[in-house]
Every structure is written in C-alpha cells, then in structure tokens.
Amino acid sequence: MTTTDSFMQALQQAEQTGNVDALVALHAPDVTLRNLTAQTWEGQDGARAFWEAYLGAFDRIRSEFTRSQENDGLGVMEWEATGQVRGGHELAYRGVSLIDIEGEQVKAFRTYYDSAAFVTPVSS
C-alpha cells in the first residue's frame, strides 16, 4: 500500500468516525497544510487543527477518490465529496489534493476545490 493509499483510507475513516488520529499520524512533524484560504497550518498540531476544522464544517461528509497516483514523492488524488454543511444545505463538490511524501509521511498537503459549492443557493 502506498502512502497515498494510506492517506485516502485514513481520511475516509476520519470522515466516518470523526476521529482524526490515524490521519494526523501520517503527517511528518514539520508538515505544512494549505487549502484555498491564505492560511498555512504547520506541524502535527496544525494538521490536527486543519482536519478537525474540515470535519467541523459538515454535519456529514464523504470523499470518494476517482483517481490517484503516487510517483517520485508526490501523491495526487482526484475526488468528489458529498455531504451536508453544518446546519445547512446538501453539497457535492470536486477537487484535487496533492501530498509531498518523505519516507512514508506526508511532508506537505495542498488541496484545490470548487468553493462555490459552499455558497447557499439564493431562493427567489
């Protein structure tokens, strides 16, 4: 099993259980994490904060990986997530996540996705 496979499996487990321990354990002590915001999370404490905030944004969420590949220290994952925003509307959105791998740990995580899915539709 590749580090990318382990990452995908740990993320799906975290989404199902709400427990991010196995996912955080895959991150290197000096990991950096970035999403579409200007913020960067650093270290395993930052990884825990990042993933807990991610799960906290939803009443439920499930990522399905449509394609993945790992080569020369880079893991690429295409995915579609479906669920419900915390206290709000259903959503489905797609994105791509990249992980830099050193040894068997995630050294950096970056994710790019369709943020329009988070905007509540306007009723007429």
CA distance 38 to 74: 22
CA distance 12 to 81: 10
CA distance 55 to 85: 10
- What is the structure's pLDDT at 11? 98
Tell me the β-bridge partners of 74.
Answer: 71, 100
Q: Are 115 and 97 in contact (CB under 8 A)?
A: no
- What is the structure's pLDDT at 63? 97
- What is the structure's pLDDT at 122? 47
pLDDT in tens, the chain (124 residues): 999 999 999 999 999 999 999 999 999 999 999 998 899 999 999 999 999 999 999 999 999 999 999 999 999 999 999 999 988 889 999 999 999 999 999 999 999 998 777 766 645 4
- What is the structure's pLDDT at 78? 98
- What is the structure's pLDDT at 114? 83
Answer yes or no: pTM beyond 0.75.
yes
